[in-house]
């Protein structure tokens, strides 16, 4: 099993809809999770991080973490065309260090006006 | 507040040559990590520097080396370049404490011919 797997997409949603992005990971020691957004040709930009089981909301974004299932997701409500980008899930290496992030391939999201 | 900066933005080299990429961390940050992102892939961790020493390393050969200076800036050196080294090289900085998040620079795009 790969360390981090994401639904590869591309995922296409209409403007105003909810976009759901999923990520599973193999390292049971991972304690925190980061979601980055990467526009084409640009560097990753931090959107959210989550440490505890359950939901964390920040504006239109909600991250959900289920450590027992080794699953983390990102919901984007009221999707906008400006949300069109690749979304990267990144758990750090186990041991508590946030310096060595393990990225999935990312999910390409397209929001259609 | 200056963010992470990298230079140069683009670089073209030929096989067998050597290259040096540079990174200045976000103001107040003391830890630098380097990532390689091939086209269509997520970033892959190369190594991390803190207190002028390499602290963690990913699955990269010894051709990849680095350095951190007293002002926390960092260099990534790649010797004996291969075609497969063509990628976006990302520098990320953070604080060396607890669950600090990483912030990425704009990257250096390296093309090896």
Contact across the interface for B43 and A44, Cβ inside 8 Å: yes
Q: Which helix (H) or strand (E) holds A59?
A: none
Q: Is A83 helix (H, G, I), strand (E, B) or coil?
A: helix
Contact indicator for B112, B15 with CB cutoff of 8 Å: yes
Nearest residue to B51 via CA among B22, B35, B74, B34:
B74
Q: Which helix (H) or strand (E) holds A110?
A: strand A107-112
Contact indicator for B23, B69 with CB cutoff of 8 Å: no
With a pLDDT cut of 70, the percent of chain B lying above it is 96
User: Given this model, what pLDDT does residue A93 score?
Assistant: 61
Q: B101 touching A, CB under 8 A?
A: yes
Q: B94 touching A, CB under 8 A?
A: yes
Q: B41 touching A, CB under 8 A?
A: yes
User: Given this model, what pLDDT does residue B75 score?
Assistant: 98
What is the arrangement of strands in the sheet containing B5-7, beginning at the earlier edge strand? Answer: B5-7, B19-24, B74-78, B64-68
What's the whole-number average pLDDT of chain B?
Answer: 93
Rounded CA-CA distance B78/B19 in Å is: 5
> For A45-89, how does the pLDDT look when each residue is reduced to its tens digit (9 = 90+)?
999 888 878 889 999 999 998 888 888 899 999 999 999 999 999
Contact across the interface for A99 and B43, Cβ inside 8 Å: no
Rounded CA-CA distance A7/B6 in Å is: 31
Rounded CA-CA distance B92/A40 in Å is: 18
């Amino acid at each position: 099993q790969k360390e981090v797997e994401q639904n590869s997409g591309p995922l296409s949603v209409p403007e105003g809809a909810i976009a759901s992005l999923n990520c599973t990971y193999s390292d049971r020691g991972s304690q925190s999770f980061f979601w980055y957004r990467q526009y084409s040709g640009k560097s990753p930009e931090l959107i959210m991080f989550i440490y505890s089981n359950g939901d964390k909301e920040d504006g239109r974004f909600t991250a959900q973490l289920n450590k027992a299932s080794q699953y983390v997701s990102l919901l984007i409500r009221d999707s906008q065309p400006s949300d069109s980008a690749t979304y990267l899930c990144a758990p750090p290496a186990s041991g508590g260090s946030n310096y060595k992030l393990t990225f999935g391939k990312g999910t390409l999201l397209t929001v259609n006006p | 507040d200056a963010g992470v900066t990298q230079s140069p933005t683009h670089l073209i080299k030929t096989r067998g040559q050597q290259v040096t990429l540079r990174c200045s961390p976000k103001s107040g940050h003391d830890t630098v990590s380097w990532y390689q992102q091939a086209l269509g892939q997520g970033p892959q961790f190369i190594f991390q520097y803190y207190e002028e020493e390499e602290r963690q390393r990913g699955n990269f050969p010894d051709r990849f080396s680095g350095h951190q200076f007293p002002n926390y800036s960092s260099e990534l050196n790649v010797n004996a370049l291969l075609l497969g080294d063509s990628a976006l090289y990302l520098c990320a900085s953070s604080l060396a404490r607890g669950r600090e998040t990483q912030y990425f620079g704009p990257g250096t795009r390296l093309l090896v011919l």
